Amino acid sequence: MRRTLLITLTFVFIACTARAATPEEIMRESQGAFLYQGRDFKARVVMRLIGAGGGERVRELTMLRKNSGKTGGDQKYFIYFYQPADVKDMTFMVYKYPGKDDDRWLFVPALNMVRRIAAQDKNSSFVGSDFTYEDVSGRDIEDDTYALVKEEKLNASDCYVIKSMPKAAGDYAYKVSWIDKTNHLPLKEEYYDRQNELYRVFIADEIKAVSGIPTIVKRTMKNLASGHRTETEFKKVEYNTGIEDSLFSERFLKMPPKNRIE
Amino acid sequence: MKKIIIAAALAVFVFSEGRALAEDPALHGFIQANYSADMDTANPDGKRYKRLEERVQLRLDSSKASYRLFLKGDLLYDHLDDAADAKAREAFVDRTSENWDLRLGRQVITWGVGDLVFINDVFPKDYEAFFAGRPMEYLKKGVDGVKVGLYPEAVSIEAVVMPFFEPNNLPSSSRFWLYDPMPGVTNRVAEEPVSKPANTEVAIRAYRDVAGFDTSVYFYKGWYRTPSMRPDDPAAPSRITLFYPELYTYGLSLQKSAFNGVISMEAGYYDSQDDRNGRDPFVPNSQVKALAGYQRQLMDDLTAGVQYYGEYMRQYGAYEAARIQGFPKEPQYRQVASLRLTQLLLHQNMRLSWFSFYGITDRDYLLNPEARYNLTDDLWAAVGLMVFGGRSDTTQFGSQDKNDNAYLQARYEF
């Protein structure tokens, strides 16, 4: 409630004064453009996990997302796995709450069993890839402080360059993001460790308008320390298909509806 | 006979609706090798392996409109018995509607929140599979019946009707060393509940969110799935009847994210219909069973789970008075603790895990370390140990002291 009030007040404040956006507002807007577009979202996600030696593993899944309120608010995720073969038909559900631990459930088809799984560490790898849970579903805006480093062009796009510093010690010391001034999407993000060394880089490889919404359909996360990288492609992206709230339930974890997961 | 009835029921169900199911059927499966070698001593039958088999599994999955057909069958060759076999693991038809669904046929059902401790999961298990180091899914046996799901606003309900009794599969006496209170009596007859309306098993689960807890209540009317032994003459037995006493259970489970992890609680009352006063020494007394578990991530990709289980025997005085001298005495309270550690490595392609039971009351244990590696996206292999021991050779794990085995599972999935 307090957060909602805060966000509302922030927006009112922006509207009244029409002053330049603060770095925090830029990041909030970017999160909205990146992870909260539409009332709901669906995509077939193909992740290629590529080792330094070129070895490749593939993860393929359908991801469904539904927002329950405003940008930065609660979200529900439903994931159905196609590949690799040993996780085929598994489903995974997340209730994401900014400011507290997510609720996560996993369905194991061979045992016909739904289990809650522990989820307090958002820096864990998502399905073994270079993306963390936080990279997939977003980081709480309140967890960082922000500074505008500069404004510059990246690949012919005018960008804000924002430095994000975690308030609590985390996996990285700080992050530098290039936020497109027009569509507010992050085009590039660099993660630095405590020794000031760059160790992880996010690149938005391709942006396409889907139903008029600029969407990053290809992205790469590269770990510079290990040389491992993950290339992710979002196929068959759809917004506002009217995903029912009831989908995010034990019933449909066990029996995912074909029209939703294909 | 049972299989024919199921097949006929399936056929009638499908064709009476006048719809064809076979549209875009998906066919998947695996080829698997599973070997388990004795570490301690040879089996009672003299062989040195608990399992030596290859198998192929085929899964057919087909949906059309609100119908789905699912078939999962295994073909295997067992080198210990030198025999081939075919098994239908699951075979069912689903019919789905907005507020209800129905699953008819052979199906695996898992209830409850315990980690390898089953209170309200009253469905059949294959304990031999678990103790011989087979992949975890083989611990669960399918049941033949109908499951109805009802989803009104306030609560979700699963009701299962099982007309055909399916017992647990216990370790075989040729491959496993086991405690037997009457080893001299080899004339043994098994009596399973026959299929008739009065013997039909019913299991009901109702669940919903209550204050952030995934909350379920359970009821079951059926049978103990592990047989009891009744000798013809307790003083000088010449023949033993293995039978399945009647059982009702009532239970509750709760699960919630809390204390930076997940907490689980479950309890059940086992109402032993054939021995409510506790005076029959050959039928289990009624019991209260409960567990509490806590799971959390210690670091990235490292998860720990601890669990406590306790059971309490009712009418203990009657049990003590009636029990047969020479048989091991059951405690009134039995407590068991378990620990699970799971570490994922190499982009989650390697999984190191540890699972152990420790019998606080029985002073016995089971240890199960395992390493599994995904060599490719389609091929994985796991090696592990099953180690048993304890102070007494009459308890669940203590009696299996000589069954320690090392196992290999390898599977190519397609």
Tens of pLDDT, residues B11-46: 445 444 444 443 479 999 999 999 999 999 999 999
Residues B205-211: what's their mean pLDDT?
A: 97
Tens of pLDDT, residues B152-188: 999 999 999 999 999 999 999 999 999 998 888 999 9
The answer as to whether A78 is a domain residue is yes
Furthest CA-CA distance within chain B: 64
What percentage of chain B exceeds 90 in pLDDT?
89
Kindly give the residue spans of alpha helices, DSSP state H, lying in chain A. 2-17, 23-35, 133-137, 250-254, 258-261
Does residue A236 belong to the interface with chain B, where contact is any CB pair within 8 Å? no
| The predicted structure's pLDDT at residue A6 | 57
CB A234 within 8 A of CB A44: yes
Does residue A235 belong to the interface with chain B, where contact is any CB pair within 8 Å? no
The answer as to whether A136 is a domain residue is yes
| The predicted structure's pLDDT at residue B149 | 98
B296 → closest Cβ in A120, A123, A258: A120
User: For residue B285, is pLDDT > 50?
Assistant: yes
Does residue B101 belong to the interface with chain A, where contact is any CB pair within 8 Å? yes
Residues of A in contact with B255 (CB under 8 A): 116
Does residue B209 belong to the interface with chain A, where contact is any CB pair within 8 Å? no
| The predicted structure's pLDDT at residue A2 | 58
The answer as to whether A4 is a domain residue is no
The answer as to whether A208 is a domain residue is yes
> How far away is chain A from the Cα of B365, in angstroms, using its nearest Cα?
25
Q: List, in order, residues 6 or more apart from A210 with CB less than 8 Å away.
A: A217, A237, A238, A239
CB A50 within 8 A of CB A58: no
User: For residue B86, is pLDDT > 80?
Assistant: yes
B301 → closest Cβ in A102, A125, A249: A125
Quickly count: other Cβ atoms within 10 Å of residue B310's Cβ.
17
| The predicted structure's pLDDT at residue B162 | 98
> How far away is chain A from the Cα of B181, in angstroms, using its nearest Cα?
34
Residues of B in contact with A58 (CB under 8 A): 377
Does residue B380 belong to the interface with chain A, where contact is any CB pair within 8 Å? yes
| Token pair recorded at residue B117 | 């401790």
Query: Domain containing A142 — which CATH number?
Result: 2.50.20.10
Residues B403-410: what's their mean pLDDT?
A: 98
Tens of pLDDT, residues B187-204: 999 999 999 999 999 999
Residues B317-333: what's their mean pLDDT?
A: 94
Give the residue on B whose Cα is nearest the Cα of A49: B347
| The predicted structure's pLDDT at residue A5 | 57
The answer as to whether A255 is a domain residue is yes
| The predicted structure's pLDDT at residue A9 | 54
Does residue A207 belong to the interface with chain B, where contact is any CB pair within 8 Å? no
pLDDT tens across the length of chain A (262 residues): 555 655 555 555 555 445 678 999 999 999 999 999 999 999 999 999 999 998 999 999 999 999 987 888 899 999 999 999 989 999 999 999 988 888 999 999 999 999 999 876 778 899 999 999 889 988 889 999 999 999 999 999 999 999 999 998 888 999 999 999 999 999 999 999 999 999 999 999 999 999 999 999 999 999 999 999 999 999 999 999 999 999 999 999 999 998 899 8
Domain count along chain A: 1
Residue A180 domain boundaries: 25-261
The span from the CA of B304 to the CA of B354, in Å, is 9
Compute, in degrees rounded to 10, the torsion defined by CA atoms A191, A192, A198, A202.
Answer: 0
CB B36 within 8 A of CB B79: no
Q: Which domains does chain B have, with CATH numbers?
A: 24-413 (2.40.160.100)
| The predicted structure's pLDDT at residue A7 | 59
Strand pairing class (A103-108; A113-116): antiparallel
